[in-house]
């Protein structure tokens, strides 16, 4: 078996995956590496949207979501 690494734009990702998933499953193994940075940014945007709908109007930044020191201080 050979290995190929593809960097695919978000624009065509679903088409490429559709094609690959329709090949014979015994002849291909699909290993996806998600872009974690994009995932974190998307999660922050989703949380900010939820916070905006709350009464607190909290704004979440990447530093706040990653830095847990303040959260630990709040618990103690």
What is the distance between the alpha carbons of residues 20 and 28, in angstroms, rounded to a whole number? Answer: 8
**In 3-state terms, what secondary structure has residue 67?**
coil
Q: Which two tokens stand for residue 74?
A: 């709040």
Structure-block tokens of residue 53:
């709908």
Phi, psi for 7 (deg, rounded to 5): -100, 110
Q: Is the pTM of this model over 0.75?
A: no
Confirm if 16 and 8 have CB atoms less than 8 A apart.
yes
Per-residue pLDDT of the chain (76 residues; tens, 9 = 90+): 888 888 888 889 899 999 999 998 888 888 887 765 666 777 777 777 777 766 666 666 666 666 666 555 555 4
* Tokens (6 digits) for 40: 């974190």
What is the CA 41 to chain-centroid distance, rounded?
Answer: 7
């Amino acid at each position: 078996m050979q290995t190929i690494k593809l960097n695919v734009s978000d624009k065509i990702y679903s088409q490429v995956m559709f094609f690959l998933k329709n090949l014979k499953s015994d002849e291909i193994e699909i290993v996806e590496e998600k872009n974690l940075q994009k995932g974190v940014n998307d999660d922050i945007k989703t949380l900010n949207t939820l916070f905006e709908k709350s009464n607190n109007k909290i704004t979440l930044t990447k530093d706040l979501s990653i830095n847990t020191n303040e959260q630990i201080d709040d618990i103690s």
